[in-house]
Chains A and B, each alone.
Chain A
Amino acid sequence: EVQLVESGGTLVQPGGSLRLSCAGSGFSFNDYWMSWVRQAPGKGLEWVANINHDGREKYYVDSVKGRFTVSRDNAKKSLFLQMNSLRAEDTAVYYCAREFPPMITFGGAPDSWGQGTLVAVSS
């Protein structure tokens, strides 16, 4: 069974930093693009970033470029999101997702999701 478990969300002050983690299991982690999707309270889904199999290709939504960095450790089957210079508008539940199908050369759409981790940016 595919499992994705996020961790690291917490309350942080504006301007602060946070690192989210996502542990994958039940599948060949290094065969898949992985992504982060967020959802602000009461709002819709927003794609944030993704990363290819070997970590060499990364893409971001404009609002986080230069502040967030996506990375992965295939040996540990883990995905990360380093979030710097956090703003109030970054407050959201952050979901880790596996993109489908495996071994593609361009990103795909999610087929499996974690349960999410809440990041709250407030003083």
Chain B
Amino acid sequence: DIQMTQSPSSVSASVGDRVTITCRASQGISNYLAWFQQKPGKAPKSLIFAASSLQDGVPSRFSGSGSGTDFTLTISSLQPEDFATYYCQQHNTYPFTFGPGTKVDIK
């Protein structure tokens, strides 16, 4: 199975900060990488597909990049509603696998 790792596991940040989360795959997955946001007690929300394409309705402060094994999710200016846990997922090889998550909380 392809293992997905994320760093950091948690980050404390302030409103207006730039936040970058890294996701690494144990083998190449081309650009078959998606990012999700989840708030406590809620279903995940899809943010990015194909490593860098924003889902409809997702604010432009979110961006994704990368290909192969290394990917990043960047929030250019953190807003109060962005405090949440973020997951990456590869869908290149079965079984599809998620990263362990990165919690973004208030500094």
Contacts and interface: CB of A to CB of B under 8 A. Distances in A.
A62 B95 contact: yes
A45 B98 contact: yes
Interface in A65-101: 95, 99-100
A47 B96 contact: yes
Given A45-B36, A109-B89, A114 B95 contact: no
B96 A45 contact: no
A11 interface: no
Interface in B28-60: 32-34, 36, 38, 43-46, 49, 55
Interface string B63-89: 000000000000000000000000101
A97 to B, nearest CB: 8
B34 A115 contact: no
Contact of B94 (A95, A100, A107, A116): A107
For chain B, the bracket of interface size reads 20 to 34
Contact of A45 (B32, B55, B89): B89
B95 A110 contact: no
Nearest to A110: B46
Contacts of A60: 95
Interface residues of A, number: 24
A73 to B, nearest CB: 23
Nearest to B46: A111
Interface string A43-74: 01111001000000001111000000000000
Given A47-B98, A59-B95, A111 B44 contact: no
B87 A109 contact: no
B49 A44 contact: no
Given A45-B89, A50-B96, 17 more contacts: A44-B98, A45-B87, A59-B94, A59-B95, A62-B95, A95-B43, A95-B44, A107-B94, A107-B96, A108-B91, A109-B33, A109-B89, A110-B34, A110-B36, A110-B46, A113-B44, A114-B43
Q: 4 nearest interchain CB pairs? A: A109-B34, A47-B96, A113-B43, A61-B95
Interface of A: 35, 37, 44-47, 50, 59-62, 95, 99-100, 107-116
